[in-house]
Amino acid sequence: MYRRLGMACCFAMVVMPFKKLAAQQKSVTVNWNNVLTVSKTIPTLQVVYNPMLRANSPIHKASFEALKNLGADYVRYVPWYPYPQAAVAELKAPTATETFWDFQYADPALVDFMEATKGHPPVINFSTIPVWMFKTAEPVQHPADPDLPFWSYKLGKELRDSTGKEVADYFVRVFSWYTKGGFTDELGKFHKSGHHYKFPYWEVLNEPDLEHQLSPQLYTKIYDAVVLALKKISPETKFIGISVALETDPQWFEYFLNPANHQPGVPLDGISYHFYGRPASLDQRIDSYQYSFFDQANGFLDRVRYIENIRKRLAPNTFTHINEIGTILENRDYKGVIPAEYWNLSGAMFAYLFVELSKIGIDAAHESQLVGYPTQFPDVTMVNWKTGKPNARYWILKLLKDNFGPGDKLVPASSHHPDVAAQGFITASGKKLLLINKTNKEISLQLPAMEGATLQTVDVHTGDNPIAHAALTTSTFLVKPFAVTVIKMKE
């Protein structure tokens, strides 16, 4: 499925001048003396629960090792509705004599996640409300097999308890199971967990505009009920709201970010929303994906600026996480062969968005997601679901995370080529130039004087292999297709 080449070829991006390309070369310029802004953007990722993260999965160990080795802050963890036995701890409504709490599928992956992110603050989102809390025409019966995706668990648009208290009580018990050592159920029985994790960030629901198709008004009511209840037991936790899939509807932001629409005492700590690039049509192929992905990315950035204006006007102290960023080829059942270059293209788009979101002032950019596989969005995976080996999307995130972050000074840079994005950074470890090839063609650039510089790159030749390192030996630089390269200046 993936093309693997020897590491020797990973250094092919440093080349001697080509006479044939000389006329086409564009000169890269950087103005190190003009600071445009100081970044506060953290590059990170989300981890969505699915059966490939269970202990019986052949890639379980490798996946969590990759997460640990990344060492990222604010990793978002989401047990998600298609796997209700892992996402929902109370699958049946309590009766007058019995409750049905069960964490046997939720616990192992959460424990592994917390171990892999130890020392780094996570964002936790048990995103699924038990479906029995909604009014439905018939009871919803989930499959007995916990590994079988069940896309109908999101039925129902109206809560049976319109106040939101029943939902809030449920999440208080889930939160307490993981942070307080256990909880007391609806009948007064204590359930002991032994867990005492710290959850510094808790996100309330996921994509409520799609899952149950909630209105901004109902979502805000649920958010307030959940947050007020959780603040009583964890006053230090920060809360993240909205988390919409479709950021195209401004009423979500206008309504939720207006403090007048919330109960007294409800904090507006943070908001989140998502973006995925897609092919323009089902018959589009790798040669033209790039145009759709980057055109859509630019359109998304316009909407981010618009949303930021709303946020600054209504809730200027609220932070923003764009906590799902990726690309999707067709649909979750895609079983075709994904071209090897696709992973580089998808990673290059994320790198481009990271730069532009840093300019805008977004607090965190999360690549989506650690593991996907056929039937569960294989095209968003950062790990090969057959081997557990990280792919180019993972290595590009690691390249960004290891080189850039909050406190970096962004300075003007240009490749003077429309297909190569350039950005200069003054970091705590020195001056760095980031180059992103947005196309599937090689591009020759004339670099400024950079004697003694070193580079790190991920391109179509590195494949599933780690980031390639090399010394810069010439001012003529051949940027490989979909390459993401960091050049560090010699001090």
pLDDT band with cut points at 50, 70 and 90 for residue 25? confident
Distance of CA 19 to the CA centre of its chain: 42
pLDDT of residue 334: 55
* CA–CA dist 89, 383 (Å, integer): 28
pLDDT band with cut points at 50, 70 and 90 for residue 263? very high
pLDDT band with cut points at 50, 70 and 90 for residue 414? very high
Q: Read off the pLDDT of residues 202-252 as tens digits, 9 standing for 90 and up.
A: 999 999 999 999 999 999 999 999 999 999 999 999 999 999 999 889 999
pLDDT of residue 335: 57
The whole-chain average pLDDT of the chain stands at 92
pLDDT of residue 359: 98
- Which residues on adjacent β-strands are paired with residue 95? none
pLDDT tops 80 at residue 19: no
Residue 209's region, left for phi above 0, alpha for psi from -120 to 50, else beta, is: alpha
> Domain spanning 40-406: which CATH class is it, in words?
alpha beta
* Domain 7-36+412-488 architecture: Sandwich (2.60)
pLDDT tops 60 at residue 12: no
pLDDT tops 60 at residue 397: yes
Domain boundaries, the chain: 7-36+412-488, 40-406
> Which two structure tokens, joined as six digits, stand for 129?
């409300």
* CA–CA dist 324, 368 (Å, integer): 5
Q: Read off the pLDDT of residues 32-55 as tens digits, 9 standing for 90 and up.
A: 999 999 999 999 999 999 999 999
pLDDT of residue 7: 34
pLDDT of residue 16: 37
More confident residue, 436 or 20: 436
pLDDT tops 80 at residue 18: no
Global pTM reads 0.93
pLDDT of residue 331: 57
Mean pLDDT of 259-280: 96
pLDDT of residue 337: 77
pLDDT of residue 22: 41
pLDDT of residue 280: 87
Q: How many CA atoms lie within 13 A of 25 on its CB side?
A: 19
pLDDT of residue 282: 77
Q: How many CA atoms lie within 13 A of 68 on its CB side?
A: 13
Mean pLDDT of 7-26: 43
| Rounded to 5°, angle at Cα 427 from 358 and 390 | 70
pLDDT tops 90 at residue 287: no
Q: Read off the pLDDT of residues 422-476 as tens digits, 9 standing for 90 and up.
A: 999 999 999 999 999 999 999 999 998 888 899 999 999 998 999 999 999 888 8
CA 62 → CA 175, 222, 384, 451, distances in Å?
28, 37, 10, 39
CA nearest 323: which of 243, 403, 404, 237? 243
pLDDT of residue 116: 98
pLDDT tops 70 at residue 4: no
Mean pLDDT of 154-173: 96
Distance of CA 17 to the CA centre of its chain: 39
Q: Read off the pLDDT of residues 69-124 as tens digits, 9 standing for 90 and up.
A: 999 999 999 999 999 999 999 999 999 999 999 999 999 999 999 999 999 999 99
Q: Read off the pLDDT of residues 120-136 as tens digits, 9 standing for 90 and up.
A: 999 999 999 999 999 99
pLDDT band with cut points at 50, 70 and 90 for residue 181? very high
Q: Read off the pLDDT of residues 318-360 as tens digits, 9 standing for 90 and up.
A: 999 999 999 998 654 455 678 899 999 999 999 999 999 999 9
> Which two structure tokens, joined as six digits, stand for 304?
């981010």
